[in-house]
Amino acid sequence: MRADILRIQAKQLQAGMTVAFHNSRMDYRLGYVNRTQNGMKLENEDRTRTEFVAPNDYVFIKRVMR
């Protein structure tokens, strides 16, 4: 497990956060978080990557180091 990630529920996601994966090359920065009746649509900043998640799903984000 990577030490630089946190597990949160998808309903806590906000634009500007970095969605993280086990392989750090797959990480991407959220540009848009659209909430719909069916769930949430996550898109990167240039809208070339899209994912759909339910609000209660767990996702990993990159921890902000201060």
pLDDT category at 65 given cuts 50, 70, 90 is confident
Beta bridge partners of 44: 30
* 18-19, strands of its sheet edge to edge: 5-9, 58-62, 18-19, 28-35, 40-44, 50-53
What is the pTM for the complete model shown? Answer: 0.86
Q: What is the pLDDT of residues 14-64, one digit of tens each?
A: 999 999 999 999 999 999 999 988 899 999 999 999 999 999 999 999 998
Largest CA distance in the chain: 36
- Rounded distance, CA 66 to CA 61, Å? 15
Strand partners, 40: 35, 53
Is the CB of residue 52 less than 8 Å from the CB of residue 32?
Answer: no
